[in-house]
Structure 1
Amino acid sequence: MPVVLAVTLAAALIACSPGDDPPSGASRESGAADHLVAAVVVEHAATTSSHERPGSLRHRRQVRLFSQEEGRITLLDVFEGDMVREGEVVVALEDDLLQAELDKARATLAQTELDVRRLEDLVSKRAASDAELSQARTAVAVAQGDVRILETRLAFTRIPAPFDGVVIERLVEPGDFVSKNTHLLTVADPESLVAEVYASELILPRMKVGDPAQLRIDALGAVAFPARILRIHPSLEQTSRQGIVELTLEDPPAGVKAGQFVRVTLETAAVERLLIPFRALRRDRDGELVWLVTDQGQASRRKVRSGLQMADSIEILEGLAPGDRIITRGFLGLSEDKTVKVVPE
């Protein structure tokens, strides 16, 4: 009797791979030739996946104000955090020299217009040529252009707010002399806050604009706020193969600020996937594979390509079909065409 018990224990050990529990239904009376395995039938399943991604809040509508003329700053009364109204002059530059040049250009224009009227009278009396009149009219057009240029440059010395917003950067002070194209202020629209996160190329096709999401802001505690996908960027980052997803908060809480760290939970739409237990997927030098049980009760290797992993299951993209029976336990000593006995998990 001890000899029979030893043979039975040896068969059970052969049927289990390291770290696997032996199939619970293994019979104590199995013969030594039986290779015990556990197996499941592959089927499609409608699944959704939840993915948490870290990101940051930022202002989607943000404008940096630059000087278009050089000069000394004579007006700058707003500071970081101040609200400004659209069209409100927030920065003014010294304009005395431009104003003097404009006065001069207007005087020149008035003189050229007077010359044209005088020449028109002389031409009518045949006391001047048409060529002289044409040159005078050209001088009027040039003088008008000079006036418009100086009026435009003078307007550039008054810099208005582009929209209702908040000042988030003040980089100069009254009395500073600034050259052209100097960054003076930055104004942002506080209502344009978006969360920006990166998502894998594997889940991007299963998301669309308007899909709901949950957003947590670490600085405001563990409360989750409802959000929606605003935009999915069309290009991917070449190294990580991830794309940018922008989300808007449906009801921004008090204390929310640009730059805060967020955690966004994205839910993908239900998709039919071919799922198998993760423990059934094996790897060797040639890549990923699974072991199948054939209709003749024999083991057979099959190369596969996997996709998303969800909990203890993994998606199979290539290599399997619904109805295939794959081995989930009992890999130790398994070989091609070896006869196996399927027992319950």
Structure 2
Amino acid sequence: LLGAIRELVGPDVPILAQLDIHSNVGQAMVAAADVLIGRETYPEIDMAERGRECVEVLVRMLRDGLKPTMALYQIPMIWGMHQVTAHEPMRTAIRKLHELEAQPGVVCASIAVCYFLADVPEMGSSVYVVTDDDPALAERLARELGEWCFARRADWHYELPSTAEALRRAEMNGNYPAIFADSRDNTGGGGPGDSTGLLRTFLEAGLTDACVLYMVDPEVISACHEAGPGATLTMPVGGKSSPLQGEPVMMTFTVVAVSDGRFQYDGPMYEGLEGKMGPSAYIRQDGLHVILATVGEQPYDTAFARSLGLDVKAMRYIGVKSTAHFRAGFEAWAGQIQLVSEPSVHNLGNLPFRRLNRPVYPLVDI
């Protein structure tokens, strides 16, 4: 995209872009743009701030003669699950990034923790630094921070427990509500949203005051809309997009509510924006409440569930199809958060990378 824009506007028109913290940044992107600025928060709640930063840098270029020079250091590493910027060890990485940005001659700097679900040559983490007409400084600082990140590669990774193990840990912790993040079926990262491990474990544990946000199952949703609220149905739920998502779970449930999936976000990430989840349904089996959606999307806040009549904050056990973005609307009132791993097409061992142009940790132990 950046290359196509550069081809259209020519070499003299400034191009600045804001990038997701999960970008796979390659040399072609750096060559096409004058300035790239990455988000510094995860969950990503600084979109507006980074946009203002882009405008401020552009003003300096046009008014003050700033001459941005940009360098990229590609870290041969997939960043692990330690990515939440308010928590250690990621908080220290962002602090070091800000220390780098405070140095004379530095315009801005960014860390990208990569998007590991893209089978592209440049997949991997990176550091990119912009200086004022000093390419050598940009290259040195990008390399130094990139090497610092890679030297701590094991720190960014940890093994996630199953939902069953996470439930045991939650009981020992004792603080509620407990949120269980099904990170390997993260719909915000392209997960199908119908893996069944978490749902099955909640059912087998006999949990009450429990909910799952959101299962993607158009077949069940269609049946709910046809039967209407109050109906009782017996159907297999989830596990239909791939055998790797787990077996469907046979449920006998009550249809509590149905909707067209339109609502308004009210949390920190997307407050005021309209959400469109497609035909949706709220079903309940005993004490387990499940929100079904046609569109795979993360629960950024509780607004969608409330639009269907479910008070998520009244639940004791909350399962979410998300890795971190849910934290923006949930962490302030959660008693505890447990990240879990269940069988999914997105488990790293199931991904047949074919296009990588270099060894990448932890696919290769380097």
Bigger radius of gyration among the two:
1
**What interval of TM-score do these two structures reach, taking the shorter chain for normalisation?**
under 0.3
| TM-score computed with the length of structure 1 as normaliser | 0.18
TM-score normalised per structure 2 = 0.17
Higher relative contact order, chain-length normalized (CA < 8 Å, sep 6+) = 1
Select the structure that is richer in helix.
Answer: 2
